[in-house]
Every structure is written in structure tokens, then in C-alpha cells.
Chain A
């Protein structure tokens, strides 16, 4: 593992039972992710992007191989320690936002901090900061049903970022958004990536996302077919 490596994946295989047979979603993946990367796992539907993200996020386990996240081997984690890993170090952004419908914007963003048993004043400051990052300070009391899709996804980003995790896993974060909202969200995430040095890993096949990536890992039939560093205009 490299010195600033945050995730290390070795010969990862994931098979799902399908009828009487098996479907191989991931087939011998070897990857390393470093701190502060803004990386995308891209590929067509069924290529294994979400499965890989789920295993990194300790929501699923591999059939073979090893995934080490923040120095912890996912396969060896107990339910409790996997939950602790997610609670402290990982943030999730979902395609369908997955906001808690009965909570206000403030309460949705506050939720991960409640799980971390943070005291009330620290929580308040962190939530207000997160709202400021995503530009939703005026929607503090709104409920998800009162927000647009773009606003919901911004709340989801704030919720994922509020605890300042080392890694944010975003599964098709722009799939339900129009172009303008997609660009806004991605610019915001890129800004947070730079300011907080958070590692962002996307599973996507959206070109709008791809153009913001600094590293693009292409997956096809469960295999890495390309792993490229993308240089921005400035870097070039």
C-alpha cells in the first residue's frame, strides 16, 4: 500500500446467485485509492460499479479477494465494526438522495452527528457549516418533500460531508438531476474535495460527472479495463 493510500483492493471477486447459476459482478479487481482523490468508476449498467462501491462502503462483502478501507479489512469486520467504519469515516450519496422524509433539512444533516454522539453546540456549528457549503442556509426548516431534486441532492451532500469523513462514496449522484443542477453539485463536491481533502469515489456513467473527474477507472464485465489520471487544463 502506498503511503497516502486510503483504500486498497486486491483480486476482488463478487458473484451473485442468479437462478441456478451465478453472475460474476466483479472479476479480479486490483485498485488503490489515495487520500484526496476525485475518482470515478465508470462503465455501462451491470459492469459492477455499484457492487464495488458497496464493498468499499462495507455494505456488502466480496466472494474472494481483499478490500482494505482505512486500514481495516472489510471481510474481517464484525457488523458492529463495519457500522463504526461507516459512521466515522464514510459518507454516502445516493442516486435517489435517500433523505429521511419526516426530518427537516437541518435534522437530516444533523443525523450522522447524532450517531457520533457529538454535543449539541458542536452539532449545530457543523450543520450550519455544511448548509453553508451547499448554499441551503435558507432552507433549514424545509422538509425533503418541499425541495427540488437539486436541493435534495445538495442536502444529501451536506449530510455526507457534515462529519468530515475521509471518504465519500457517491452512487450515480446526478442521475436524477438536470444538467444545470448536476454541474452545480459537482462543482460543489470538487470544492469540498479541495478544501477538506476528502476522497470522492463516484460510480457513474454520466458524462457530466466524468468531465469533473481527476481519475477515471473504466469497468467492463466486472474487470478494470482502463485506469487513467485526467489532467485539468491548468495541470496540462
Chain B
């Protein structure tokens, strides 16, 4: 209690020196919380986007389907089983037929994946209702990335080529009826969406599909012969791994910030040992034990961290809340990084993040305050009183 009282007096009495340290520490708190909040916000948005646009609440894959083996696509379709037909009509799942194809924008040649999707589905966020447009050409929708790479605009007509179920190549004209913006690159880059019926007809696979996406609010994992169930966790495994990697990268930044703040405290404490030797000698002459003096200096250091919480809360909470509201715009081109990034990222601050940051800084500040203070215990009080540098 005495150490707390004296430490508080010493800190308040030290004026600007204290407040500078407190500001540096509070800045560290806020920066760490903000930076982790941004990563968490990014992760949260990325997961939501992936679920909305691609993964749903799990998928059923035709037994031969391997998303990483394009050559498997030709064999990866089968008639829609009765159970899936039934729940498709209830709007709980949506079938997708997948084929490899080639697009010829402006006479150039580019590989792509053709996806047949029901224009009336509401299971994933692809704006498939635009495929209902009546047109001489096959109506097709593509994402912004695909449009950029093929230099296509809405209303453009281009040729596509594919191979049907019998291995015969065929080609037709498609009309780009919609270019959508999506934060999930896998949904957009190198993908073209046409109506399921059109693709089934083009591939001569009526009533067949390659996969089913289960709606976000539907739950099922029934075993269906010829189809493999893939859980949402499995489908988002890569994304989860990526998040972990991002967290590791973030931790490096976290560590650097922490080191800088600790350096400031350590520096202050070491300087204090030299500048305040006479004071330390006086404490001892007046009846404090060396242990009490070490305790006083350690508490002083730790109090920086506590004051920093208060100061940080004063300017940091409004800043963090404002960021949560307005988000941060991501630079142009960041959506080509291959991972889902929204145009704006809204940070998410968990209570755990705030408490762990405060505790971690408090503990480390206490340790770096203790270390130089411990040196005091080796100082001769008679020399300390005179302020002799040792």
C-alpha cells in the first residue's frame, strides 16, 4: 500500500517524464488493439464472405470431383439424387455443374471454369437472377477480376468453347449480362457463370450436377451414395490456415511495438537509477529496506502501464469505436492478393484481445522495471546518499 502511495506521488511529481512514458505506452496499447482488431475484422469478413459466396454451410461433391484437378471435371458429374432434388426445390441447397472451358475475348484465348447455376437460387450470393435475361446469346455473368483479366464489359459478346460429356468440342457466343463485385477471389477469378440448364444442355448432361452448396441456414450431412459430404470447416481449412499465418505476421508487429514501448520504460528506469541515486540513498537512510526501494521502483514502472490504460482509454476508445464504424479502405489492387479482402475492413475488438494486451503490457512493464531496480539492491547506501555513480 505504501509503495503504491509513494509510487503514485513520484509519478505525478515527475510530471512530463511520466506523461511521455504513459503516452508511448498508451499508444502501444491502442496500436496493438487496433492492428489485431483489423486482422480479426478482416478474418471475420473473409469468413462471412466465403460462406456467403462460395462455401455455404458445407457442400456435397460428386465422387470424382477434385477442385485442384481440372482434368477430373469432365468425369465429375452425376444425376441429382432424389434427396438433393427434394431439398433443392425447398431452397436449402443449390446444384452447380462445373466444366472446363476456354474464352476468346477479342480473339485472345484464355482458360476458364464454366459454372452452371440455377438462376433462381438464393443459397449463395452470386447474382444468378441476372441469368434469367432473354438473349440470342447465352447470358453469362462474371466477376470484376475475370472482367479485368479478359477486358470484358457488361453487354459484351464473346465466344466460349467447351467439351461435352462425349468429349466433343463445341463453341457458342455468350453475352455478359452482369459484372459483379465479390471479395472472394475463388468465386471470381477465371470463372464464368451461366444457367445450370444451359450448361447441362451444352454438356449433354441433363439433370446432372458436379456439386451442391448447402444454404447458410440449413444443416445436413446425410450420407448420399456417389456424393461426398464436405463440411464448412473442411472447405474453409485453407482460409483458417491463412488466418493463422496472418496472426503470426501480426505477432511480429505486435512484438516490435511491445519492444519499443518496453525500451522506453526500461530506459526511464535505468536512467532513474543513475539520476535518482541520492533519492534512493535518502529512502534507505530514512528507514526503507532495499527490498522496499526495489518494490517502489517496480511499482512505479508498473503504474506507467496502469496510467497508460486510463490515458489510452481517453483517446483510444473513441478512435477504436470510430474505426469500427467507418472501417478502413483497402488500397486498390489489394483484392488481387488471392485472399478475400473487402473494399473496407471494419475492425473487430474482442474483450479477450483487450484484456490480454493490457495484462501482457502490465506484466512486461513490471519485469523491465524490476530489472534495473534490482541493481539498487547492490548499491552501498553511503555512496547512494552522495549520488556517486557506480
Contacts and interface: CB of A to CB of B under 8 A. Distances in A.
Nearest to B281: A98
A54 interface: yes
Interface string A54-71: 100101100000000000
B382 A87 contact: no
B279 interface: yes
A98 B2 contact: no
Interface stretch (A26-34, A77-85, A182-190, A203-211): A77-85
Contact of A102 (B9, B285, B382): B9
B178 interface: no
B266 to A, nearest CB: 21
B385 A94 contact: yes
A80 B288 contact: no
Interface string A81-112: 00110111010101010101111000100011
Given A98-B281, A103-B13, A86 B2 contact: no
B388 to A, nearest CB: 12
Contact of B286 (A54, A101, A107, A112): A112
A216 B15 CA distance: 45
Nearest to A79: B289
B5 interface: yes
Chain A interface extent, by class: 20 to 34
A88 B278 CA distance: 21
Nearest to A102: B13
Q: What size tier do the contact residues of chain B reach?
A: 20 to 34
Nearest to B292: A83
Given A98-B278, A115-B286, A60 B2 contact: no
A179 interface: no
Contacts of A116: 287
A114 interface: yes
B354 interface: no
Nearest to A143: B13
Given A59-B381, A107-B9, A114-B2, A100 B279 contact: yes
Contact of A86 (B285, B292, B382): B285
A3 interface: no
A117 interface: yes
Contacts of B6: 114
B355 interface: no
Contacts of A96: 278, 386-387
A149 B286 CA distance: 21
Contacts of B380: 60
A2 B146 CA distance: 105
A92 B281 CA distance: 11
A98 B282 contact: yes
A54 B289 contact: no
Given A54-B382, A94-B385, A103 B9 contact: yes
Which of B10, B279, B282, B291 neighbours the largest number of chain A CB atoms within 10 Å of its CB? Answer: B282
Interface in B281-309: 281-282, 284-292
Interface in B363-390: 380-382, 385-387
A159 B290 CA distance: 21
Contacts of B287: 83-84, 86-88, 90, 112, 115-116
Contacts of A94: 282, 285, 385
A36 B354 CA distance: 61
A57 B5 contact: no
14 contacts: A57-B285, A59-B385, A60-B381, A79-B289, A83-B284, A83-B288, A86-B285, A87-B286, A87-B287, A102-B9, A102-B15, A103-B13, A112-B287, A114-B6
Interface of B: 2, 5-6, 9-10, 12-15, 278-279, 281-282, 284-292, 380-382, 385-387
Given A87-B288, A112-B286, 10 more contacts: A59-B382, A59-B385, A83-B292, A92-B285, A94-B282, A100-B13, A101-B13, A101-B279, A102-B14, A117-B2
A-B pairs with the 3 shortest C-beta distances? A87-B287, A102-B13, A98-B282
